[in-house]
Each structure stands twice: as C-alpha cells, then as structure tokens.
Structure 1
Amino acid sequence: MRFTRRRRRHSVEDENSYWVSFTDIMSSLLILFILAAVALMVQLMSKQDALGTALAAVDTQIQAQQAQQAAMDEQQSQFDAQIGTISEAEHVRAEILEEMQSRLQAAGIQVVLNEDSSVLSIPSSALGFDSGNYDIAPAYRDRAATIGVILSDVLRQGDRTDYLDTVFIEGHTDSVPFEGPLGMNNWGLSTFRAISLWQLWDDTLPKGKQLDTLNNAAGAPLFSVSGYADTRPVAGTPQGASEHAPNRRIDIRITIVRPSSDELQGISDEFASDSSS
C-alpha cells in the first residue's frame, strides 16, 4: 500500500512537472513569436516609410520632368510661331509684288520680278532714265504716278503692312562713270533717281494713297530711299553698250518682319538648357 501510493504520488508530480515545462516552453515560444512579429512589423513599417520616401522622390522627379517638358513645349511653340510668322510674311511679300507685277503689266508697264519674289525692278524704259540723268521726263510722269498708286493700293489691302519691315526704293546706275555737279558720281546719281521717283509720288498721289503715311509693324515709317550706283548690276546682261539700259532702274525691295538674332538665340539657348538638364 505504501509503495503504491508513493508511485502514484511520483506519477502526479512527474505529470505536473511535464505540464509546467511544456507551459514554459509554449510561453517562451509565444514571447519569441510576439517579438518576431513586432520586429517584422517594425521592419515592414521601416520599409514602408522608405518606399513612401522613394515614391515621393519619384513623384517629385516626374513633376520636375513634366514641368521641364512643358517648358520645352512652350519654347518649341514659340519657335514654331516665329517660323510660321516668317513663312506667312514671305507669302504676303510675294503676294504683294506678284499682284503689283500683274496690275502694272495690265496697265502696259513692263516690270521684272526676281526669282524669290522679293524685288520688283522698274526698268529705264518705264521711267525714262537716260545715261547720266536722274530726272523723270514729263512723258513718263503719268506712268511713274501709276506705279505709285498701284503700290499704295496693294500695300493697303488687309493687314499686309503688319508683316513688313521696310519697302526700299532703290536707285541704280549703269557702269558708265558719271561726273556731275559738286562732285556727284554714280552713287549720288543712283540716289537722286530714287529720290526723284519718291518726290513725284509725294507730289502727285492723292490723299489717302500717300506712301509716307504707311508704317511698318513697329509703327516706324515703312518706306526708305537709297542708291547703289552700279554695284548691283542686272544678272545676265550682255557686255557692251546694250548692258547699260537694264541697269538704269529702280528696284522696289521689300523686307519682312523677322525675329531678331537675339530672340532666336534666346529660344535656342533655353531649349538647349532644358534638354540637357
């Protein structure tokens, strides 16, 4: 009896010890699991913060790239607008001079339009400039006035002058040396030919067609008068006496509004800077 009770007591004590040890192990494992879970959560939160920071940096970079692209698009738009304006101005210039040529020929006045439609040449046969002479003879004055009226009419159509910078009335001479009063040479002769035509227009054109009232896009006077002596001969004229008459002429040269080199360079520099940044 004593032996049996003692064995039962030992069995219960062993069983209790086993459950205590098992509970301690499970408690330790639970603590380790909790610690591991906490460490994992901390690690995840840290990675989440790092990911958030990285995403914010990427978003900032994307916004910067979008702003840069918008600036480049704006500069490209400005450049395209400048090029478009130049193209439109060239079209308007050609339209003016081609219409002048057509209307003058319809009036029996033969003129010559150069290949790029920027210069209209009025030969001596239309103005009567003899060698060494800058006066427009009375027989040619009506014809010269008609040229001025047609020039005024075609320039005043629509907004054409908004595309123009200057209309040059250019005098030219042949290559025969000229010695005039007060030391005048071919330079003076060519200039006085242009002045004579301009003065005739100023004296004869009716009010409302006066050319000196026209301004360019900047609000400055549209017309300018100049002389070039024999420095710009007509291309392809034969040698000898027959070459002289075609070079005694008045050229109407039109220059168009263009962006300045500084403006184009500024756009180009900004575009290059944005492209490289």
Structure 2
Amino acid sequence: MRWRKSHDAPMEDEDPYWKSFVDIMSALLVLFILASVVLILQLMEKSAQFDAKVSQLQKAEEVRRTILDEAVKKLQQRGIKVEVSENHTVLRIPNELLGFDTGAFELLPRYQQTALEIGEVINQVVSRDDRVNYLDTIFIEGHTDNRPYPGFMGKGNWGLSTFRAISLWQFWSSALPEEQRLNRMSNQDGDPLFSVSGYGETRPVNAKQVSENDFRENRRIDIRFTIRRPASADYEGVRELLGGATK
C-alpha cells in the first residue's frame, strides 16, 4: 500500500486576542444602544410632561378669555357697560357704575342694584363647569386718580382705593344669595379664590391725567383674573433633564 504525504498544512487557531476584542466591542455596542434607548425614553417622557404643562397653560388662558368675554356680554344684556383690558386679563368697572363720591368709599343705595348684578354675573361665569380649576386668584382692585387725598390718617389714595374695594366685596358677601356668594369659592390649593387690594393712583389706565375725563378713567374697580401656572419646580425639572442630556 502506497502512502501519500499530505501537503495541506493544518489551519492555525484564530487569534484569541482578536476574538476577545470583537466580543468587547460587541458588548459595548449593545450597552450604547441600551443607554441610547433609555435616554430617548426619558426625553420622550419629559417632553410629554412639558407638553402637558404647556397645554394646561393654554387651556387656562382660553378659560380666562372666555370668562371675561361672557361677563361683558351678560352685563351688556343688562344694560351695564364694563370694559376688558387690552391684555384680556381684567374686567374694568368704571366708577360711574358704583358711584363712589370724591373722598368716599361707601357704596350708596342707588348703585347697589348695579353692583349686585355685576356680582351675580361674575359668579355665573366663574362657577360654570370646571373653570375654577384653571384660576389661581381673582383680585378686586381699587384705583384712584392722582389728585392728592389727605384722608385715611395719612394713607391718602392708598387707603381710599382699598376701602372702596373692601366695600364692594363686603356688599357682595352680604347681598348675594348664599349659594352665589363669591367668598364660597376656593382655588385648587384650598385658598380663597378672591382677594381684595388697593393701588391708589399707582396703576393708571391713562397716565396723562389733565382733563376731568382723564381723572374719570382712572377711578375704577378692576377685577383681575390670574390663572394657575405650572410650578417653577416642574419647569426646573424639565430644564435639568434636557440640559443633562446635552452634556
């Protein structure tokens, strides 16, 4: 029997170092993909939370505008002409509707029916549906013109404007039917929805104040509607996450 010598050389084993390197790189790639997926999911979640906050804020703005528009329309139907501020946040009640005399803060009997109807309408438009949930505070603000007033133990126009706002609030609290009283309302934090304040001559709607008409425009009661906004911590949390994702 003839033996034939094989000329085929045996294959060398693969380089173990190269194999280990490939395994490590594959593992790192998997980890990178997993980390990327986790980061993307976190960003999507935070983005959704942020979008929800923005949507909530937009809804609150819409509710406030609706409240003011409805209030103006309902009062006009009753022959009561009020105004809305340019930024659509304030219902403005001219002094002629409430009849506060110069230096006086008492709501005279002949103006009480008009004041009562204004309170009724405010109750109607605020308490409808879930609108209260979008409001933070409704301020009843007293304002005067810039002519000096020496009364109120030296408090002048500050005191006068504050007492006028208080008089209107106290009238509503006693004259409105119990189920319509504004002091029964609270915001989502459980705090009273309404607040009363006076600004004297510091926030004029007409800064010129030369003619009697100029003075008249500044004598008023403003009903200022402020809306609920996402807490600063909510914004900060989103900002930190988004900022950390770019580092």
TM-score between the two structures when normalised by the length of structure 2:
0.93
Identify the residue that residue 272 of structure 1 maps to in structure 2: 243
> Among 70, 89, 97, which residue is 2:41 paired with?
70
What amino acid is aligned across from residue 141 of structure 1 in structure 2?
Answer: Q
Identity level (%): 40
Identify the residue that residue 135 of structure 2 maps to in structure 1: 164
3-state SS in 1 of match to 2:178: coil
Identify the residue that residue 93 of structure 2 maps to in structure 1: 122
What amino acid is aligned across from residue 210 of structure 1 in structure 2?
Answer: R
What amino acid is aligned across from residue 134 of structure 2 in structure 1?
Answer: Y
Deviation at residue 175 of structure 1 after TM alignment:
1.1
Residue 135 in structure 1 maps to residue 106 in structure 2: yes
Identify the residue that residue 75 of structure 2 maps to in structure 1: 104
Identify the residue that residue 85 of structure 1 maps to in structure 2: 56
TM-score between the two structures when normalised by the length of structure 1:
0.83
For the residues of structure 2 that align with 1:206 and 1:139, how far apart are their CA atoms?
A: 19
For the residues of structure 2 that align with 1:235 and 1:253, how far apart are their CA atoms?
A: 18
Give the RMSD, CA atoms, in angstroms: 2.0
Contact 1:194 1:227 in 2 (8 A): yes
Deviation at residue 158 of structure 1 after TM alignment:
0.6
Identify the residue that residue 244 of structure 1 maps to in structure 2: 215
What amino acid is aligned across from residue 62 of structure 1 in structure 2?
Answer: I
Q: Show the 5 A alignment for 1:17-32.
A: 26=5, 29=7
For the residues of structure 1 that align with 2:107 and 2:70, how far apart are their CA atoms?
A: 24
Deviation at residue 136 of structure 1 after TM alignment:
1.1
Contact 2:142 2:161 in 1 (8 A): yes
Identify the residue that residue 232 of structure 1 maps to in structure 2: 203
What amino acid is aligned across from residue 224 of structure 1 in structure 2?
Answer: S
Question: Of the two, which has the highest radius of gyration?
Answer: 1
For the residues of structure 2 that align with 1:246 and 1:104, how far apart are their CA atoms?
A: 19
Q: Which moved more, 1:86-95 or 1:49-58?
A: 49-58
For the residues of structure 1 that align with 2:133 and 2:213, how far apart are their CA atoms?
A: 40
> Among 174, 187, 205, which residue is 1:216 paired with?
187
For the residues of structure 1 that align with 2:103 and 2:137, how far apart are their CA atoms?
A: 28
Point out 4+ residue stretches in structure 1 off by more than 3 angstroms.
Answer: 45-50, 235-238
Unaligned runs of 5+ in 2: none
Deviation at residue 89 of structure 1 after TM alignment:
0.3
**Deviations for 1:158-181, whole angstroms, at most 9, x for unmatched residues?**
110100100000000111111224
Residue 200 in structure 1 maps to residue 174 in structure 2: no
Contact 1:94 1:118 in 2 (8 A): yes
What amino acid is aligned across from residue 88 of structure 2 in structure 1?
Answer: S
Deviation at residue 261 of structure 1 after TM alignment:
2.8
Higher helix share: 1
Deviation at residue 47 of structure 1 after TM alignment:
4.2
What amino acid is aligned across from residue 71 of structure 1 in structure 2?
Answer: Q
Deviation at residue 74 of structure 1 after TM alignment:
1.2
For the residues of structure 1 that align with 2:216 and 2:105, how far apart are their CA atoms?
A: 13
